[in-house]
Structure 1
Amino acid sequence: MLRKIKISLLVCLSLTIASCSEDYLDTKPTDAISASDALATAENMALILNGLHRLLYAQPQTLISGGDSSRSGNQYWTPLDDNFSGGVIHTAPANNLGWQDETRWQSHTQETSLTTEQLWYQRYHIVASANAIINKATDGSIPEDARLREIIAQAYAYKTYAYFSLITHYAKGYLIGNPATDPGVPLLFASEAPFTSAPRSTVQEIYNQMESDINNAILYFDGATTNSNDKSQLNINMAYGMKARIALSKGDWETAADAAVLARQGFPIMGESDYKSGFNTVDLPEVIWGSKVIGTETTFFRSYFYLMCNTFAGSQNRGNPKIIDKRLYNQIPDSDYRKDLFLEDAPNTNSSASNGQGGFGNDPNYTDRAVFNAKRLEYQNQYGWLSNQNTHPYMHVKFLQKNPGTTDPDDIINMRTSEMYLIEAEALAMLDDVTGAQAALSTLGEARDSAYDATVFNTKATLMEHIKFQRKIELWGEGFLYTDKIRWDEAIDHAANGGSGASVTLYQDGFMQGKPSTNDKWVFKIPQAEIDANPNIGPANQN
């Protein structure tokens, strides 16, 4: 690939396994081990997996050469997909490390941007590391036992996860394109130097590989050891969840529904108190898989909560509180407690607010300064943000730090049960199973809304519109809107139907984008450095 790829161990850069450029010297750091040692035993391979767990959230330059701290794994990639697709609304200019460039569609559309390069590079690092484990662990040189099966299963699941991220960002969506002929991403099989990837495979070929890999993961998880107390470790539920996501994205509705049911077994939907607790821990009962962030691995002003959380002690949120799309908020019934996570009546205290309504006297919701100040203080005391934190109507309090007003790290949730109910409901609706879709929706809806009645959505069309609403509100800020919009072929129009609350001046190109089936800008550019370095990918292969 683009650079020398190294397998991550817990605290080191460990193992060179691939190269197609000479940017980095073949020197062995004192805290690294050789390739043969890293893959010699099941427990050594487990250390490699732990390195991948850390790579999902740690500053990547501490783990792999070529990593950049401003794109710290899923700290950045997860909220990114709700940011530039228009779900999480910015309210003002802010110190952003490129975060508003994403909003303006100025990053993923450039082949030289950190976003296009780092997502590609980090995901292929996962693929290469997983390949190294799989190739060695299945060659017969290490006796297969329950522990080795678990390691192989996790490697297959990680590989699937990385390819799914790559194919959904760097290629046209399966349902809106021609998967048999549309260019996908390169397949990577080798696990030792010298190495260059294959040319770009088709979208269909990548899906075939993902389906094979995730089925292998499920097969190896059967009879494997399990560690149900560590949700950073991938397990069979996560594997079924990935299978459900893949099937949903390609329109394999029956497989999606069946896998989603299996994925959520043993992970009950959380109740109101857990739902309002801040989405800051993988210990919530319905979290199937997430990153348990080590306290010493803080990314400070590069974290998920820095980019998203309105209580974080950072300039990104002090001057730019994140809000929900007002049109979505207005659809939430008063009987639905998820509405409480968005503060419609928060005073607009920011004189730099892009809607021109910041500061008392400009905020049309307040005519009494004492009431304006009291409401600001009320929310400050309730949620624990600092006194210099600006507020804004419709700001969210979904993501809350365990220690508000600090830069302390918090966990990242990658998969939870509610998503699986929504996958099942959408898949059954597309199969014209109205009753089945209603049943799946009822389980989730009744847990969130005291007046919920799924039977009023009694056609495929009304069910699908309601499922879209449920996904947008239930999974808000969790990184699903980008792939949802591609699957549903939805455009971005912040001005339609009364407006989202976004400013055209602030959002620029991100304010309006045509639907993905007719707009190639939804597809990420391949990094120019990859095209320059990889003899199997030339300028003609650029998206």
Structure 2
Amino acid sequence: MKNKMLNKITRKIYMLLLALSLIVTYSCSERYLDTVPTDSISEAAAFSNPDNIDLVLNGLHRQMYSSELNGGSGSRNGESHFLPSLDFISGEVIHTGPGFNWMKGEAQWLLHTNANSTTVFNFWYQRYHFVATSNAIINNVAASDFPETPQINRILGQAHAYRAWAYWRLVTTFSKGYIIGDPTTDPGVPLTDGLGISEGAPRGTVAEVYNQIENDIDSAIEFLKVASAPDNKSNISLNAAYGIKARVALSKGDWTTAATNAALAREGFPLLDEAGWDIGFNSVELSEVIWGSRIIDTESNFFSAYFYYISFMFNGGECRGNNKIIDIELYEDIPATDYRNKAWLPLAPNTNSAAYNGQGGSFEVDPNYDDAASFDAAKAAIIAEYGATSRHNTHPYMNVKFKQSRPGTNNPDDVIYMRSSEMVLIEAEAKAMMNDISGAQDALDILASERDSAFDKTAFTTQDALMDQIKFQRRVELWGEGFGYHDKIRWDEGIDHTNSGASLNIYGDGFIQERPSANDDWVFKIPQDEINANSFLTEADQN
């Protein structure tokens, strides 16, 4: 039944006018257009004028966080799901209890290694949805006689940027890392022009996919330089396009391009100060947010929301029964002079009787407490300070980095995709890899001295010392924001939870994983449905 439904889905683009968003759905294995008069508008109408094309583009803005993409499955849609999932796979964010067991399979390395899992299907499907919709925009504008205007340039700039972003997300997840592999021969992902291919496409090489990505992001930048200003931060601005280019360059070891574009991306987006950092990363209006989705109540995905997976105080069973913690060894390396140490609570009482470490439920098993009064008082103080409910559990090293704007509810908060802090760290890493010691020190100092009053850039005088510090800064600053998986691939680092606070009994295969260059399981399996539907792919193409 699933395959029959998939085949129907993969043979349509649905252009649904939903409020002010036109949601276009499209499968990577479908190669022609069909309209449904009862619930969609025709292709001709959708692309008949720039205002209508803007509606198509708005559909992509919404699909960045939505869980309602046709053909996808429930909660595993959008960056609301995939940002935290990539940090669970990489072991950067650690489960402490059963909750509702969301993303435990990712942490256990059971889902991205399974070609039949919903996780790989939706990651693949959604990214090709972005590719196909971007293709439709680009191809239809090219075939039109629209005059060049700032609006058209903004539309084309964002369409090229989305296509670059989508292919980059695909090739860095379903293929071997550029730096650790052989991009000229390693299989990448299919490159498709969307509506012009009859029966799918073969896998290009990693290098070929990167060539397409780089051409697209360069085109995006040129269009956006002469475009009208974006409506809000959910749009891909010129700064965000520079940021995407910096990420792409970093992932392939093009250090000069990475450093240059990271610096351009963060212009006009000053770093958060301590008060701003403490707000809790719940609003795109924070000064250093370059790109993110503003979530409004009427468009909330509630129990598919980003904060449901990552925040302590969201009122859902996953949050109440499964506090997410930082790697204990990483936390212990945060200096007392670094205000980010307040984002995790090392002495929070372990109130969950189902805690994986076997030390939860009462002061009698929690080594940090000697009596019921202090144990109960500590929980009560945390609940009061952060606005959770009495049903929420607490756990040592639990995260309070992500704070709900309306704590103790299941109301939505914004999803942040790009911050200037990340751009500073890209610049620092790129300069360190070029062995530009002073340049890397100066870039690192921009962020680290803001976060740590005692930071001394001159303590890091070699490439190795700088890279160790840059890795530390990324892991702390960007914790829970979805960077762990790709960072570990780029750095060729494995997973070892021996002293992290994770439970071997629960984590299973995810407890220890060899480095990516020696371990093909870091590469996502291609969805079996795609192997079956795409005539250019066979079982030999499976990762």
TM-score range, shorter chain: over 0.9
Q: Pick one of 148, 155, 172 that aligns with 1:151.
A: 155
1:542 aligns with 2:527: no
| Cα distance in structure 1, aligned partners of 2:26 and 2:428 | 42
What do the CA deviations read for 1:200-234 (whole angstroms, capped 9, x no partner)? 0000000000000000000101211012x600011
CA contact (8 A) 1:257 1:427 kept: yes
* Structure 2 equivalent of residue 45 of structure 1: 53
**TM-score, normalisation: structure 1:** 0.95
| Cα distance in structure 1, aligned partners of 2:517 and 2:28 | 35
CA contact (8 A) 1:279 1:413 kept: yes
RMSD over aligned CA atoms reads 1.8
| Cα distance in structure 2, aligned partners of 1:513 and 1:172 | 16
1:168 partner amino acid:
T
* Structure 2 equivalent of residue 36 of structure 1: 44
CA contact (8 A) 2:294 2:414 kept: yes
In the TM superposition, residue 10 of structure 1 has moved relative to its aligned partner by 5.0
* Structure 2 equivalent of residue 405 of structure 1: 408
| Cα distance in structure 1, aligned partners of 2:480 and 2:195 | 35
**TM-score, normalisation: structure 2:** 0.95
In the TM superposition, residue 4 of structure 1 has moved relative to its aligned partner by 3.1
What do the CA deviations read for 1:136-160 (whole angstroms, capped 9, x no partner)? 2123521111110000000000001
| Cα distance in structure 1, aligned partners of 2:25 and 2:287 | 38
* Structure 2 equivalent of residue 96 of structure 1: 101
CA contact (8 A) 2:11 2:33 kept: no
SS in 1 for 2:13: strand
1:135 partner amino acid:
N
- Equivalent residue runs for 1:63-462 within 5 Å: 65-97=70-102, 99-191=103-195, 195-227=198-230, 230-359=232-361, 360-462=363-465
User: Any unmatched runs of 5+ in structure 2?
Assistant: 1-5
* Structure 1 equivalent of residue 491 of structure 2: 488
| Cα distance in structure 2, aligned partners of 1:72 and 1:16 | 13
| Cα distance in structure 2, aligned partners of 1:8 and 1:375 | 52
Identity of aligned residues (%): 53
SS in 1 for 2:287: coil
SS in 1 for 2:179: helix
1:516 aligns with 2:524: no
4+ runs deviating over 3 angstroms: 7-10, 12-22, 24-27
* Structure 1 equivalent of residue 3 of structure 2: none
SS in 2 for 1:57: coil
| Cα distance in structure 2, aligned partners of 1:300 and 1:16 | 22
2:13 partner amino acid:
K
| Cα distance in structure 2, aligned partners of 1:94 and 1:113 | 21
What do the CA deviations read for 1:222-272 (whole angstroms, capped 9, x no partner)? 211012x60001111011001000000000000000000000011110111
| Cα distance in structure 2, aligned partners of 1:468 and 1:480 | 11
In the TM superposition, residue 376 of structure 1 has moved relative to its aligned partner by 0.6
CA contact (8 A) 1:14 1:34 kept: no
In the TM superposition, residue 9 of structure 1 has moved relative to its aligned partner by 5.0
What do the CA deviations read for 1:496-520 (whole angstroms, capped 9, x no partner)? xxx0000001111100100000000
Q: How many residues align?
A: 533
CA contact (8 A) 1:17 1:191 kept: no
1:462 partner amino acid:
A
More divergent stretch after superposition (194-203 vs 340-349) = 194-203
CA contact (8 A) 1:272 1:448 kept: yes
2:107 partner amino acid:
T
* Structure 2 equivalent of residue 501 of structure 1: 501
In the TM superposition, residue 34 of structure 1 has moved relative to its aligned partner by 0.4
More divergent stretch after superposition (9-18 vs 140-149) = 9-18
In the TM superposition, residue 72 of structure 1 has moved relative to its aligned partner by 2.6
CA spacing shift, 1:373–1:18, aligned 2, 3 Å:
closer
| Cα distance in structure 2, aligned partners of 1:10 and 1:257 | 40
In the TM superposition, residue 19 of structure 1 has moved relative to its aligned partner by 7.7
* Structure 2 equivalent of residue 59 of structure 1: 67
* Structure 1 equivalent of residue 472 of structure 2: 469
1:418 partner amino acid:
S
